[in-house]
């Protein structure tokens, strides 16, 4: 069946590809940064509804998820946090079920003058579509949707339940994917087309977000004593955190997927605020930090060490010694996850099925890669016993300026995804 069906599926992907690019362009024009995902989610729900999927759309309720493993603490309200799921219910249910997951949220643009063209006015040049979120990961949402369309155009539907998920909160907590699990959406495998260059992600890191708050007594600069400046007091703390980062990356701490990476774990001070007036000694400062951990590394141990490093460095400072810094957790509380360590039959079969689909769609063998970021895959893999395959198109400058996705790569991913769905779920007549 494979060769005959694969040719037909690939043909249908080609036929609808212009529509797919238009859809990606429209989706990218929605500025779905945190708290503003609603219009993009409306578009997703409309598109799924039009195709006859059963629509589930709900606001994430912290009460449903905050007791669950993998929950990340959040600051601020959740009124705008809306998930959308489109369900295909199989008539025969003779195959294996599947979750097709993607996130609708995008990271902030940064200074607009760093972009060659406005980030939410997508444009195509030299085979790339430019725009914030085009690669990460609206091209993946498009490939999941149009892969299912290709199967439908061949007169088939998956012979098992398929849940198409468009989730929020991937870029800061993962609570959108967690809310899907809490709502009962489980399957035999999950596919997440994050933009990792058509590679299969074999392992991903965990991520912790924390905020350090320093405060003291303000004074006029004329009377400032050394060490009482809440901005300057932060510098030695950041230096101590970088020494910890260096220790965690040491060769003896690396699990097998990361043995050859000198510096997989990155500590990033991503925001810094402090002070009120140029001639006043700053009484306060706040900085936000992102730190990675390896798969298998305990998140509680990591947090304890972070706090201990900050407090020890604070003891060295006359000002901080009497006014100890406060550490707040306000986002990612994510463990690492390694698909490579999943020894289940489902994992082996899903990987083999994807290898075959990728080979037929691209003519190349599937490359496996351990990545230095996190994705929502951890929820399925760690907390739902579901192998999660992260596999998506080639993109550049994600989280940077002039983010772009290669359209021919999206076409290849859509073809292999369509074939993967057909082989993994099996097919039934529409
Ligand atoms: Zn992403």
Q: Ligand 1 centre and the CA of 375: distance in Å?
A: 7
pLDDT at 241: 98
For strands 284-293 and 388-390, give the pairing: unpaired
Report the domain count for the chain. 2
Q: Compute the C-alpha angle 82/17/396, nearest 5°.
A: 65
Separation in Å, CA 189 to CA 95, 128, 203, 286, 414 = 12, 30, 16, 41, 18
> Distance, CA 137 to ligand 1 centroid (Å)?
5
Pair of tokens at residue 53:
């999927």
Centre of ligand 1 from the C-alpha of residue 132, in Å: 11
Q: Do 82 and 170 belong together in one domain?
A: yes
DSSP state of 366: P
pLDDT tier at 303, thresholds 50, 70, 90: very high
pLDDT of residue 2: 53
How much distance in Å is there from the Cα of 4 to the middle of ligand 1?
Answer: 34
State the average pLDDT over residues 293-303. Answer: 97
Q: What is the pTM of this model?
A: 0.94
- Cα(194) to centroid of ligand 1, in Å? 5
Q: Looking at the structure, tell me whether residues 382 and 317 fall in a common domain.
A: no
Pair (122, 152) in one structural domain? yes
- Whole-number Å distance, alpha carbon 314 to ligand 1 midpoint, is 35
Tens digits of per-residue pLDDT, 93-146? 999 999 999 999 999 999 999 999 999 999 999 999 999 999 999 999 999 999
pLDDT of residue 279: 87
Specify whether 327 is located in the same domain as 210.
yes
What count of residues does the chain have?
430
Ligand 1 geometric centre to CA of 182 (Å)? 21
Which element (helix H / strand E) includes 149? helix 139-153
**277: CA distance to ligand 1 center in Å?**
38
CATH code of the domain containing 279: 3.30.70.360
Q: What is the mean pLDDT of the chain?
A: 95
Distance 326 CA to ligand 1 centre (A): 30
- 46 and 140 in a common domain: yes
User: Angle, to 10 degrees, between the axis of helix 2-15 and the axis of helix 17-28?
Assistant: 60
Please tell me whether residues 200 and 214 are part of one structural domain: no
* pLDDT band at 427; cut points 50, 70, 90: very high
CA nearest to 227, candidates 398, 236, 210: 236
pLDDT > 70? residue 219 = no
- pLDDT tens-digit series, residues 48-84: 999 999 999 999 999 999 999 999 998 777 888 999 9
What pLDDT, on the 0 to 100 scale, is given for residue 74? 86
Whether 191 and 327 map to the same domain: the answer is: no
Distances (CA, A) of 268 to 62, 271, 403: 28, 9, 20
**Residues 157 and 263 occupy one common structural domain:** no
Domain that holds residue 147: 2-204+336-429
Q: Measure 367 CA to ligand 1 centroid, in angstroms.
A: 19
Q: Comparing 123 with 227, which gets the higher pLDDT?
A: 123
**How far, in Å, from the CA of 203 to the mean position of ligand 1?**
15
Task: Look at residue 14 and tell me whether its pLDDT is greater than 70.
Answer: yes
- Distance (angstroms) between ligand 1 centre and the Cα of 85 equals 18
For residues 190 and 54, membership in a common domain is answered with yes
Distance 181 CA to ligand 1 centre (A): 18
CA distance 42 to 40: 5
Task: Give 115-118 contacts, CB < 8 A, sequence gap 24+.
Answer: 115/401, 115/402, 116/401, 116/402
- 334-392 pLDDT, tens digit per residue, is 999 999 999 999 999 999 999 999 999 999 999 999 999 999 999 999 999 999 999 99
Q: How far is the CA of 305 from the centre of ligand 1 (A)?
A: 28
- Is the same domain home to 123 and 271? no
Say how many Å lie between the CA of residue 103 and the centre of ligand 1: 7
Phi–psi pair at 162, nearest 5 degrees: -125, 130
Nearest by Cα to 31 from 163, 129, 121, 102: 121
Q: How does DSSP assign 254-290, residue by residue? A: --GGGTT-TT---EEEEEEEE-S-TTEE--EEEEEEE
353: which 2 tokens? 């099925």
pLDDT value at residue 79: 83
d(CA 308, ligand 1 centre) in Å: 31
The Å distance, Cα 429 to ligand 1 centre, comes to: 34
Ligand 1 centroid distance, CA of 105 (Å): 8
Q: Which of 302, 334, 366 is the last residue of a domain?
A: 334
- Choose the final residue of a domain: 307, 334, 361: 334
Closest CA to 189 of 354, 58, 49, 337: 354
Say yes or no: 395 and 321 in one domain: no
* Domain stop point among 282, 300, 334: 334
pLDDT for position 321? 87
Same domain (yes/no): 183, 99: yes
CATH of the domain at 45: 3.40.630.10
Q: Please spell the DSSP secondary structure of 304-320, one letter per residue.
A: HHHHHHHHHHHHTSHHH
Q: How many whole angstroms from 285 Cα to the centroid of ligand 1? A: 30
């Amino acid at each position: 069946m494979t060769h005959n069906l694969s040719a037909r599926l690939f043909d249908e992907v080609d036929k609808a590809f212009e529509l797919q690019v238009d859809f990606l362009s429209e989706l990218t024009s929605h500025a779905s940064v945190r708290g503003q995902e609603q219009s993009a989610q409306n578009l997703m729900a409309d598109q799924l509804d039009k195709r006859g999927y059963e629509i589930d759309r709900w606001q994430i309720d912290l009460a449903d998820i905050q007791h669950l493993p993998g929950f990340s603490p959040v600051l601020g309200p959740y009124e705008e946090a809306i998930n959308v799921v489109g369900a295909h219910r199989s008539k025969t249910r003779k195959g294996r079920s599947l979750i097709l997951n993607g996130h609708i949220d995008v990271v902030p643009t940064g200074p607009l003058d760093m972009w060659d063209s406005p980030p939410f006015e997508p444009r195509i040049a030299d085979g790339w579509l430019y725009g914030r979120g085009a690669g990460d990961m609206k091209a993946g949402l498009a490939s999941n949707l149009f892969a299912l369309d290709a199967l439908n155009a061949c007169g088939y539907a998956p012979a098992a339940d398929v849940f198409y998920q468009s989730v929020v909160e991937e870029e800061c907590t993962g609570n959108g994917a967690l809310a899907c699990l809490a709502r009962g959406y489980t399957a035999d495998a999950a596919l997440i087309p994050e933009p990792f260059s058509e590679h299969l992600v074999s392992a991903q890191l965990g991520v912790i977000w924390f905020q350090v708050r320093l405060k003291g007594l303000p004074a006029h600069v004329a009377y400032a004593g050394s060490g009482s400046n809440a901005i300057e007091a932060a510098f030695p703390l950041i230096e101590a955190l970088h020494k910890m980062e260096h220790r965690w990356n040491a060769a003896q701490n690396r699990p097998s997927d990361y043995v050859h990476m000198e510096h997989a774990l990155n500590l990033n001070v991503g925001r810094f605020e402090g002070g009120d007036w140029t001639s006043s000694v700053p009484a306060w400062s706040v900085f936000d930090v992102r730190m990675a951990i390896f798969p298998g590394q305990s998140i509680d141990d990591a947090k304890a060490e972070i706090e201990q490093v900050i407090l020890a460095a604070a003891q060295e400072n006359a000002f901080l010694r009497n006014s100890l810094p406060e550490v707040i957790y306000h986002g990612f509380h994510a463990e690492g996850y390694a698909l490579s360590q999943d020894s289940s039959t489902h994992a082996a079969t899903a990987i083999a099925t994807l290898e075959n689909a990728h080979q037929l769609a691209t003519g190349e063998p599937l490359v496996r890669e351990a990545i230095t970021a996190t994705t929502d895959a951890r929820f399925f893999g760690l907390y739902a016993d579901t192998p999660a395959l992260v596999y998506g198109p080639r993109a550049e400058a994600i989280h940077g300026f002039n983010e772009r996705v290669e359209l021919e790569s999206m076409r290849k991913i859509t073809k292999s995804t369509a074939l993967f769905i057909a082989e993994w779920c099996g097919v039934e007549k529409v």
